[in-house]
Amino acid sequence: MRKHIKKGRRPYLFEIKMKPFHTLLFILVVFLLFSSLILIFPKNGIQLSDEYSLQFVAWDDFFSLDTTESVDISGILDGTTIDFDSVEFVDSKLGLDSAMIGDSVVVYYKPVPIKVDSVIRYLEFPNGNKQILFSFFELLANIKNTQELVRVMHYGDSQVEADRITSYLRYKLQSQFGGSGAGLLPALQPYNFKSPMITENSDNWKRYTAFGRKDTTVQHRRYGMLASFSRFAPFYEIEEIIEDTNQVDLDFLTDSIFKPNTDYSAWVRFSESNYSYSNVKNFSQVKLLYGYNQEPVQLKVYTGEDELFSEQQLSANNGFSIKSWTFEQTPKQLEFNFSGKDSPDIYGISFQSSKGIIVDNIGMRGASGTMFTRMDASQLAEIYRYLNTKLLILQFGGNVVPGMRENYDFYKRNFGRQLKRLKELIPGVTIIVIGLADMSMKEKDEYVSYPNITIIRDALKEATFEAGFPYWDMYEAMGGANSMPSWVFANPSLAEKDFTHFNPRGSNIIAKMFYNAFMFEYNQYLKKNKTFIEK
């Protein structure tokens, strides 16, 4: 039906003419309602659950500008450029006229200063005493003449997992001073790491740790140098043999009585990773560190699919033991097959050269670095002595941050006890403590540093200085307060979006910062000891 509009009338749908006074009145009413809500809403918000809360803007936030400044890290990055595609050796322009080839790595005869880029953050020393590092520097300067195998063990929390930070340090140290191989790896890798080597296992392995929640089935403190060991069979629980079971009600016997009649088998396979540096892919020795199997265990070692390399028996023992294999050519894959009525406690498998520097990555998710005093001291001392451990790098503190306190004297005392214990276990050892990184918490729409980071950093530094060791401040090296967002939002990104962990690229940059600071001190040592340098 067609609607006719009368002539002379102007068609329209709807029209309201609002005067300026009405507009002002509307704005004032909205502002009053908004102001009332600000006044009655709790300043800390309404907690909906353990993870979520309902927040509303406060007066201070409403009228103030964003006061969180973005940290400029461009200067840091300019001084730590990394060429990921090249293998860096000692600068051949330093007047070196001879070199030796060993374990696929160049090692120069003469101890010379090592070229480093700009030092972003120097090592700090108690009372400025740099001689703390001289004993280890002397080992480096003479390592060609001594043909020694020197161990560097890098302990840390989740910040170093998957060989992060360690991989670059290992690559540089081995390139400069010789050595190759990934170092110590656990039989059971707790997470699906692809570096430094790829590890695959049968599904009956179990890992026991000296950190985190204690497994009550472990009735001893022998966790080994990785602060963990792995087994493929239940713990052997028989304490005495019952001669005449006819006189015993079998219903009262525990299942463990019959464990010796059960056969267990397991396998673990290690293979080359595309995510590791070339020096990791070369090794000439493999060592199995194990102990405390109450029954003999058969072990077969395969270097390829069904290619048997070695077959032997691990005798029943009540102590720490080692099995070693030597390879003329590095196998692309290595598989260990175990079988027997018990499992040894396997502390680790080392992939290494016969001389030079070996660097172990020992990541412990959730650890605060206070587990050494909870482990068997005599066993640790024996293993460290066998491995010829000369330098420990301890990188902890991040896991102490979330449980915020105003005072961390307890952590200072506890961490100090760890340093004291390690000095007792390894006479003459050099220890360097790397502090925690910046970590961000979200305050409304901003990411800001946890307020307790510097307090924890100071506690770590004081404990380190009191024990007589140097400290490297990773927090300040990366930019200090509120620097983590700059790493996360860098292009390309240098840290994960949990605002806690570096990604692989960022890890290498941090590693290079530390390496430059360390090698700067080595160069200073050589200048003071000119007898080492032939002109």
How do residues 266-315 score in pLDDT, each as one tens digit? 999 999 999 999 999 999 999 999 999 999 999 999 998 789 999 999 99
What whole-number distance in Å separates Cα of residue 282 and Cα of residue 356? 13
Overall average pLDDT of the 163-178 stretch: 96
What whole-number distance in Å separates Cα of residue 345 and Cα of residue 234? 11
**pLDDT tens digits, one per residue of 25-78:** 777 777 777 667 666 767 666 656 544 455 555 655 555 544 556 788 887 877
- Average pLDDT of the chain? 85
Residue 116 has pLDDT above 90, yes or no: no
**pLDDT tens digits, one per residue of 438-491:** 999 988 778 999 999 999 999 999 999 999 999 999 999 999 999 999 999 999
**pLDDT tens digits, one per residue of 404-416:** 999 999 999 999 9
Q: State the pLDDT at residue 183.
A: 98
What whole-number distance in Å separates Cα of residue 416 and Cα of residue 418? 5
Residues of 270-298 as b/e, b for ≥16 C-beta within 10 angstroms?
bebbebbbebbbbbbbbbbbbbbbbbebe
Overall average pLDDT of the 115-125 stretch: 91
Overall average pLDDT of the 249-265 stretch: 58
Q: State the pLDDT at residue 68.
A: 54
In the DSSP assignment, the letter for residue 495 is B
- Percent of all residues in the chain with a pLDDT value above 70, rounded to a whole number: 79
Instruction: Give the list of residues 6+ apart from residue 385 with CB closer than 8 angstroms, or none.
Output: 426
Helical H runs in 355-503? 377-387, 409-425, 453-467, 474-477, 484-488
The helix/strand/coil state of 259 is helix
Residue 1 has pLDDT above 70, yes or no: no
Q: State the pLDDT at residue 77.
A: 78
Overall average pLDDT of the 112-127 stretch: 90
Give burial (CB, 10 Å; 0-12/13-18/19+) of 504.
middle
Q: State the pLDDT at residue 43.
A: 62
pTM: 0.82
**pLDDT tens digits, one per residue of 514-532:** 999 999 999 999 998 875 5
Overall average pLDDT of the 152-161 stretch: 97
Same fold, 77-179+355-535 and 184-234+257-354: no
Q: State the pLDDT at residue 531.
A: 58
Structure tokens at 509: 């940059």
Give domain 77-179+355-535's CATH superfamily: SGNH hydrolase (3.40.50.1110)
Overall average pLDDT of the 245-254 stretch: 42
Q: State the pLDDT at residue 163.
A: 96
CATH class of 184-234+257-354: mainly beta
Helical H runs in 112-200? 134-146, 166-177
**pLDDT tens digits, one per residue of 490-503:** 999 999 999 999 99
Contact call for residues 87 and 480 (beta carbons, < 8 A): no
Residue 99 has pLDDT above 50, yes or no: no
Domain spans, the chain: 77-179+355-535, 184-234+257-354
Min mean pLDDT across 20-34, 168-182, 217-231, 277-291 is at 20-34
What whole-number distance in Å separates Cα of residue 367 and Cα of residue 297? 33
Q: How far is residue 291 from each of residues 55, 261, 319, 372, measured CA to CA in Å?
A: 56, 21, 5, 19
Q: State the pLDDT at residue 103.
A: 42
